[in-house]
Amino acid sequence: MSIGLFEQEILRREAMAELRKLGIDPYPPEAFEVNVNAQDIKDNYERDKTSYKNISFAGRIMSRRIMGSASFAELQDSTGRIQAYINRDEICPGEDKTLYNTVFKKLLDIGDFIGVKGYVFTTKTGEISIHVSEMTILSKSLKPLPIVKRDDEGHVYDGFTDPEMRYRQRYVDLTVNPEFKHIFMNRSKVINTMRNYFDSQGWMEVETPILQPVHGGAAARPFETHHNTLDMPLFLRIANELYLKRLIVAGFDGVYEFGKMFRNEGMDRTHNPEFTAMEIYVAYKDYIWMMAMVEECLEKVALAVHGSSKVKVADQEIEFAGPYEKLSMYDSIKKYTGIDVSAMDESALRQTCKDLKIEIDPTMGRGKLIDEIFSKKVEEHLIQPTYITDYPIEMTPLAKKHRSKEGLVERFELFVMGKEIANAYTELNDPIDQRERLEDQLLLAGRGDEEAMAMDEDFLRALEYGMPPTSGLGIGIDRLVMLMTNQSTIQEVLFFPQMRPEKKAKLPSLEDFIAIGVPAEWVPVIQKMGFNTVEELKAANPNKVFNDLGGMRKKMKLEITMPQKEVVMEWFS
């Protein structure tokens, strides 16, 4: 493996070997005690200089400026960067200057982790720096990091910007572009704020199955897998709603879960196959109560992340303090199209879609047609937080029928910046009604609707034992984080967004070469010489190959044993 690399990586491996020869372990096992971080020094040193006279700091070397027997290096820890001043005669007080001349100047590289002890001071040019008196190598970096340079105004000169590499190698991205860490720190803050709020209300965090025999609770195509011992198919959950409701049946007054959901559908900048949802169910409440709860919750989140209920997103300023605007689904369509769809039957809706130039297909029922009109004509207008309420019953098999409006259910969705952020119901707890509604879904499935909800007999049995009136809410955490961190793609708020596998260099199998007697460590050399298959190698002149192997060994400074000539000749026999 080590030979597909080139000079910089070979040099670093040599430096690592040199360190070992000098008796320095490039990967020491001992803990290195740290008593300060970069942010702390920068924030507090000027005020309190006496506290920084004996510090111990650890981080990565991110740049070096060597000037003879004095040097500057930028060290980066989890909180930021701080400059270190290293003077030869200070870290090497005796005759032996090896630690500076050889170890620091020759054997250390950008990316290495080191620990330093010393004191904080301000340089002539006014930079708060660490004056190093002792230096310890903590971990050697064998691959060169991309170098990102910034000037005083913060201009970036050689940015590490390729999104493919940033997502595939997030460890490199966050090392050289540490500003992106704030997105993930804020993501954590969003989740913790919600969790603290729920806990303070006395609701309980729970975990429910990810592997489910029936994929219920939402409309989406699932990932399917198989359990060997039970010899049965299982689905990765597309939702956890039905399990959380079982817990309300079981007698908990409030339960919530943050968890990954999995949907086997398209990927784009707002969809990843696995994503995080938060669902919460509270007994003895309805969807009107839930609206107020959401307003309180999101305001707390905005305050935690930004210190303000107002959040800048793209070119808008979003106000997360409630109350939010409320608009029924029918009214919203009327508002933005001028059309009253409330009394239309399926064929009238089809005509309306045609008039509005909205594509439809024959499998769509009344609910889906209305949803199409809504998503094409209304969603984009909903910039400030807006509740869309009272959905047609056909679209929502798990919500309770509206207390006063025929044909509707008690449901709301919260839209911000034209995107759905939350979805909530007064939950359907009438087991007879629930069974009928799921049976209607089966009819839709029969019409070819791949997303119609499946029947879940055990869930119906739970309802038959009795579920208290309950309101439930789901929030898409990734999209909420996108809003709170002003990001336009979901990949930027996921550490490891889903990617196609990296293409592998099309190398023939190691085994083929080993089979004809080539030592494993020489296979990469042969490949580097241009022989990609055993056949190509055998077609070459054996003497030339033998000579070239020696040449490559020297050129690439390989420390592996040269094979005997007779051995090489046998490769060709």
Based on the shown chain and the rule CB under 7 A, indicate whether residue 269 belongs to the binding site for RNA.
yes
Taking CB under 7 A as the criterion, which residues in 389-418 touch RNA?
Answer: 413
Number of residues that bind RNA (CB under 7 A): 73
Half-sphere exposure of 461 (CA within 13 A, CB side): 3
Least separation in angstroms between residue 518's CB and RNA is: 16
Which one of 38-46, 191-199, 249-257, 498-506 is the stretch in contact with RNA (CB under 7 A)?
Answer: 498-506
Choices 152-160, 181-189, 309-317, 334-342 (CB under 7 A): range interacting with RNA:
152-160
> How big is the CA angle at 130 (ends 128 and 133), to the nearest 5 degrees?
155
Q: How far is the CB of 329 from RNA (least distance, A)?
A: 11
Give me 178's structure tokens: 């540490």
Task: Select the span of 45-53, 214-222, 313-321, 434-442 touching RNA (CB under 7 A).
Answer: 214-222
How many Å apart are CA 365 and CA 362, to the nearest integer? 8
The rounded distance, in Å, linking the Cα atoms of 467 and 250 is 8
Rounded to whole angstroms, the Cα distance separating 88 from 98 reads 9
Query: How far apart, in whole angstroms, are the C-alpha atoms of residue 100 and residue 107?
Result: 10
Least Å distance, CB 31 to RNA, is 28
Between residues 107 and 484, which has the closer beta carbon with respect to RNA? 107
**Residue whose CB is less far from RNA, 271 or 334:** 271
Is the CB of 53 or the CB of 149 nearer to RNA? 149
Q: If binding is defined by CB under 7 A, does position 505 make contact with RNA?
A: yes
Q: Which of 78, 161, 192, 564 binds RNA (CB under 7 A)?
A: 161
Closest CB 511 distance from RNA, rounded Å? 17
- Report the distance separating Cα 21 and Cα 539, nearest Å: 42
**Which residues from 416-435 bind RNA, rule CB under 7 A?**
420, 423
- 80 interacts with RNA by CB under 7 A: no
- Residues 449 and 415 sit within 8 Å (Cβ to Cβ): no
Give the residue among 248, 192, 245 at the shortest CA–CA distance from 459: 245
Binding residue for RNA, selected from 75, 491, 518, 571, defined by CB under 7 A:
491
Q: CA-CA distance, 505 to 141, in Å (whole number)?
A: 24
CA atoms within 13 Å, Cβ hemisphere of 424? 29
- 451 touches RNA (CB under 7 A): yes
| Cβ at position 423, least distance to RNA in Å | 4
Amino acid at 232: M
The yes or no reply on residue 167 touching RNA (CB under 7 A) is yes
Q: Stretches 7-15, 197-205, 436-444, 463-471: which one binds RNA (CB under 7 A)?
A: 7-15
Q: Taking CB under 7 A as the rule, does residue 354 contact RNA?
A: no
Helix, strand or coil, per DSSP, at residue 233 = strand
First CA to last CA distance, the chain: 27
User: Phi/psi zone of residue 222: left (φ > 0), alpha (ψ -120 to 50 degrees), beta?
Assistant: beta
Please select the residue that binds RNA; options are 46, 268, 436, 439, rule is CB under 7 A: 268
Closer to RNA by Cβ: residue 189 or 402: 402
Q: Which of 468, 508 has the CB closer to RNA? A: 508
State the maximum Cα–Cα separation within the chain, in Å, rounded to a whole number.
95
Instruction: Pick the binder of RNA from 20, 149, 354, 557 (CB under 7 A).
Output: 149
- DSSP element (H, E) containing 445: helix 431-446
Q: Does 144 bind RNA (CB under 7 A)?
A: yes
- For residue 470 the two structure tokens come to 């309950």
Question: Which range touches RNA (CB under 7 A), out of 50-58, 145-153, 204-212, 244-252?
Answer: 145-153
CB of 78 to RNA, least distance (A): 20
Q: Contacting RNA (CB under 7 A), which of 32, 85, 223, 252?
A: 85
Q: Both tokens of residue 105?
A: 């100047």
Torsion of CA 24, 27, 29, 31, to 10 degrees: 90
For residue 411, give every residue at least 6 positions away whose Cβ sits within 8 Å of its Cβ, in sequence order, or none.
287, 389, 390, 391, 396, 399, 423, 424, 425, 426
DSSP letter, residue 508 = P
Q: Between 20 and 310, whose beta carbon lies closer to RNA?
A: 20
Closest by Cα among 171, 165, 156, 82 to 118: 82
Binder of RNA out of 33, 50, 95, 125 (CB under 7 A): 125
Burial of 11 from C-beta contacts in 10 A (0-12 / 13-18 / 19+): middle
Closer residue to RNA (CB): 51 or 83: 83
Of residues 226-265, which lie at the interface with RNA (CB under 7 A)?
A: 263, 265
DSSP string, 191-232: HHHHHHHHHHTT-EE----SEESS--SS-SPPPEEEETTTTE
* Residues of span 528-557 touching RNA by CB under 7 A: 532
Query: By CB under 7 A, which span of 18-26, 204-212, 495-503, 509-517 interacts with RNA?
Result: 495-503
Nearer to RNA, 442 or 499 (CB): 499
